[in-house]
Amino acid sequence: MTADAAPPPVEEVAGRTTGAAVRGPRARTAAAYLRYGAAKLAGAAVSLFAVLVTGFFLFRLIPGDPVKTMTGGRPVSAEQLAQYRREFGLDLPLWEQFADYCRKALTGDLGTSYQFRAPVIDKITEALPNTLLLTGTAFVLYTVLGIVLGTRAAWRHGRLGDRIHTGLALTLYSVPSFWLGLLLIVVLAVGVGPVPGLFPTGGMESGGEEGLAHVLDVAHHLVLPVVTLVAVEYGQTLLVTRSALLDEMGSDYLTTARAKGLRDDLVRRRHAVPNALLPTVTLVFINLGRTVAGVILVETVFSWPGLGGLFYQALSVPDLPLVQGLFLLFASAVIIMNTLADLVYPLLDPRVGR
């Protein structure tokens, strides 16, 4: 479908505002896309600001005096308390504290971790690549697996294979990811009875290896966490793909494609799946929030040195600057990914955003 097929009133509006009526459909499309993109970006900016506000006020709900928490019950004089308050800016009016916090957060200064006595941002940049490695691998695998299996299930709707796939996906979807991880460790890493441990119980590397051996070692450590994440996450993609494809199954254009004499396989790959994929893409991105939860739990269970593991360590203290920093990071990452998806989406599907 091209821009010519968009509803006429919208075209008129686009033509009037940009004066593009004489320039042809391509220019009008670009203008409409820019407006759509600007609206999405403005929305994302508002959302990110809301995250900042939440991050600030949520962590000021804590009962008790942050300075007293920091000094951890050590005997401190009133002067010292006042000194700390001045240092952390806690004697300023709330709105000044907020402005200060916003300025710092935007320049990447997220405060100092109580627990590690190191800047929060350093801990985050240290752990980020490890999380990206784990999440990226799992994300690619579960998306591909979910789409492939979902397509097959929908195409053979109602048959035994469909019911097995749907049932398995629903079951795994109900399984707590941390529990699945613990079981995998017991069975495949520690070993039950005669079964020897095949994989490391946790961590990311054994240490001491160089070059290719190191890469293989990390890959070996990566297997179980990735399997856990894929198992609990692929079900959602499968179900979404399946219902999106089933929505397309009755469409006239598929009947036409079949009437042309196309092979069943081609009808599916060239005609049905590309259309069904579009809603799937949106939902995959909306569900990124769920993936973040999965990552936190899986990293905790497998002692993976990433952001999720860091979040758990910060919680158990509780190390509030670190929790706050990670909260800001997770929330804004999901918002940014969603905005990217929104921006790419109309390029894939011309029906959106006009």
Partner 1 sequence: MTTGVTPPADARGADARGADVQGADARGADAQGADARGADARGADARGADAQNAAAQDASAQDAAAHAGPRRPAWQRRRRAAARFWRQYRTHRAGLAGLAALVLCALLALTAPLAVGSDVAGVTDAPGQPLAPPSGRFWLGTDRYGRDLLGLVVWGSRVSLLVGLLAAVLSVAIGAAVGITAGHFRGAYATVMMRVTDWFLVMPTLVLAVALTAVLPRSLGTVILAIGVTTWPTTARLVRAQTLAVEARPYIERARALGGGHAHVMTRHVLPNVMPLVLAQTTLMVSSSILTEATLAFLGLGDPTVVSWGGLLQDAREAGAVSAGDWWYLVPPGLAIAGVALAFTLCGRAVETVLNPRLGVAR
What values do phi and psi take at 110, rounded to 5?
Answer: -105, 15
Q: Which is nearer to partner 1, 29 or 338 (CB)?
A: 338
Write down the least CB distance from residue 177 to partner 1, Å.
8
Identify the burial level of 248 via C-beta atoms within 10 angstroms of its C-beta, where 0-12 means exposed, 13-18 middle and 19 or more buried.
middle
* 247 counts as binding partner 1 under rule CB under 8 A: yes
Token digits of residue 203: 């961590």
Provide the β-strand partners of residue 119: 112
The secondary structure of 164-208 as a DSSP string is HHHHHHHHHHHS-HHHHHHHHIIIIIII-TTPPP-S-SSSS--SS
Write down the least CB distance from residue 14 to partner 1, Å.
22
Binding footprint of partner 1, residue count (CB under 8 A): 57
Choose the binding region for partner 1 from 98-106, 138-146, 190-198, 253-261 (rule: CB under 8 A). Answer: 190-198
Token digits of residue 44: 């994302």
Distances, alpha carbon 331 to alpha carbons 76, 101, 213, 278, 342, in Å: 37, 17, 36, 24, 17
Q: Which is nearer to partner 1, 3 or 138 (CB)?
A: 138
* 71 counts as binding partner 1 under rule CB under 8 A: no
What values do phi and psi take at 136, rounded to 5?
Answer: -60, -50
Q: Which amino acid is at 127?
A: A
Contacts with 55 (C-beta within 8 Å, 6 or more apart), sequence order: 105, 324, 327, 328, 331
Choose the binding region for partner 1 from 13-21, 122-130, 287-295, 346-354 (rule: CB under 8 A). Answer: 287-295
CB atoms inside a 10 Å sphere around CB 324: 21
* 124 counts as binding partner 1 under rule CB under 8 A: no
In the block, tokens 């936190």 appear at 296
- Can you tell me which of 88, 114, 178, 345 binds partner 1, judged by CB under 8 A? 178
* 173 counts as binding partner 1 under rule CB under 8 A: yes
Q: Which is nearer to partner 1, 76 or 286 (CB)?
A: 286
Write down the least CB distance from residue 344 to partner 1, Å.
16
- Can you tell me which of 70, 81, 90, 246 binds partner 1, judged by CB under 8 A? 246
Q: Which is nearer to partner 1, 20 or 180 (CB)?
A: 180
- Can you tell me which of 24, 89, 176, 274 binds partner 1, judged by CB under 8 A? 176
Binding mask 204-243 for partner 1 (x = CB under 8 A): ---------------------------------------x
Q: Which amino acid is at 279?
A: P
Smallest Cα–Cα separation from 278: which of 215, 231, 348, 337? 348
Binding mask 295-334 for partner 1 (x = CB under 8 A): -xx--xx---------xx--xx-x-x--x--xx--xx--x
Token digits of residue 217: 């070692």
Smallest Cα–Cα separation from 137: which of 184, 207, 204? 204
- Do 100 and 86 form a contact (C-beta atoms < 8 A)? no
* 46 counts as binding partner 1 under rule CB under 8 A: yes
Binding site for partner 1 (CB under 8 A): 43, 46-47, 50-51, 54, 58-59, 61-63, 167, 170-171, 173-176, 178-180, 182-183, 185-187, 190-192, 201, 243, 246-247, 286, 288-290, 292-293, 296-297, 300-301, 311-312, 315-316, 318, 320, 323, 326-327, 330-331, 334-335, 338
